[in-house]
Amino acid sequence: MTKLSKKERHERILHELVASSTLRVSELAAELEVSTETIRRDLYELEERGLINRTYGGAVRPLGAEPSASERHRLMVEEREAIAAATVQLIKPKEVVAIGSGATTTHVARRMAAECRDVTVITHAFSVATVLAANPTIQVLICPGRYHGREGMMIGPETLEFLQSYNANWAILGATGVTPEGFCDVDADACAVYRAMMHRAAATIAVVDHTKFDQSALGLWGRWHDVAHLVTDRKPPPALVRAAERARTEITIATRR
């Protein structure tokens, strides 16, 4: 194994913490082929950045926190691309689609730019608007509001008021976590935007990779009966499948090409 730089180690640690909510120093040291002292320094620096919580012997993913949008875009790329490819199959020409912020929803928007035509998109996320600009047949409406720099999105009363003026065929929304109760996000302001999009849409599609299963976060933006489709990359655990069945939420398992 080629020795990783500190930046690469940090990325690997965050990636592992997405897949597993807890990590141990000894296991990380063995996997990354560095000393336990090096891993402890890495964890200290990541905690200083607010990305993890250190514990005795390791680290945990903090409730109500996740890597920044730019960091998340580098994680689970193949899985998110598969989810995006499956999601765009639901979208037809002339439809209106509201898209929330997030790494997975940006992958969906990129795939829409490549495959969809004559669609109108309403979004509060600059990354979504940017990738859609490659397709001149897609009209993009960007919400006004207060700019959330870390996430690259607009939030606040102006954003919510703007959304009330439009109807959509679909709301496509990501989540920090999915529990038997529903779909949640670390940012309460983002949750408010997602709820507004969901209420103005005829149907909602949740796009969520498997690392979000059984993870909780600060705000609940929707319950299972609010979501018509869940597009993911693996079959959810039994409790989530039962919740989907009770709510008649259709689950699509996207396969990597």
Secondary structure of 116-127 in HEC code, one letter for each residue: CCCCEEEECEHH
- Domain check: are 105 and 219 in the same one? yes
Q: Give dist(CA 31, CA 27) in Å, integer.
A: 6
- Domain check: are 56 and 88 in the same one? no
- Domain check: are 22 and 94 in the same one? no
- Domain check: are 218 and 239 in the same one? yes
Half-sphere exposure at residue 232, Cβ-oriented, CA atoms within 13 angstroms: 22
- Domain check: are 85 and 10 in the same one? no
- Domain check: are 44 and 149 in the same one? no
Q: Considering the chain, what percentage of its residues have pLDDT values greater than 90? A: 66
> Which letter does DSSP use for residue 97 in this model?
E
Structure pTM? 0.75
For the CA atoms of 64, 97, 132, 79, the dihedral, rounded to the nearest 10 degrees, stands at 50
Domain contains 162: yes
Domain contains 69: no
Distance of CA 49 to the CA centre of its chain: 20
Range of 48-57, 213-222, 230-239 with top mean pLDDT: 230-239
- pLDDT tens-digit readout, 125-183: 999 999 999 999 999 999 999 999 888 999 999 999 999 999 999 999 999 999 999 99
CB neighbours (10 Å) of residue 171? 28
Owning domain of residue 15: 6-62
- Domain check: are 35 and 89 in the same one? no
Count of domains for the chain: 2
In terms of pLDDT, which residue wins out, 116 or 62? Answer: 116
- Buried b / exposed e over 6-41, threshold 16 CB at 10 Å, is eeebbbebbebbbeebebebeebbeebebeeebbbe
- Domain check: are 177 and 80 in the same one? yes
Please answer whether residues 185 and 175 qualify as being in contact, where contact means their C-beta atoms are separated by less than 8 angstroms.
Answer: yes
For residue 217, name the pLDDT band (cuts at 50, 70, 90): confident
In terms of pLDDT, which residue wins out, 56 or 26? Answer: 26
- Domain check: are 157 and 230 in the same one? yes
**How confident is the model at residue 162, as a pLDDT?**
98
Q: Give dist(CA 161, CA 183) in Å, integer.
A: 23
- Domain check: are 115 and 200 in the same one? yes
Give yes or no for residue 99 having a pLDDT over 80: yes
Domain contains 247: yes
Q: Give dist(CA 87, CA 33) in Å, integer.
A: 39
- pLDDT tens-digit readout, 175-205: 999 999 999 998 999 999 999 999 999 999 9
CATH number at residue 37: 1.10.10.10
CA dist list (Å): 47 to 3, 70, 150: 23, 18, 17
**How confident is the model at residue 178, as a pLDDT?**
94
- Domain check: are 27 and 79 in the same one? no
- Domain check: are 130 and 186 in the same one? yes
CATH number at residue 80: 3.40.50.1360
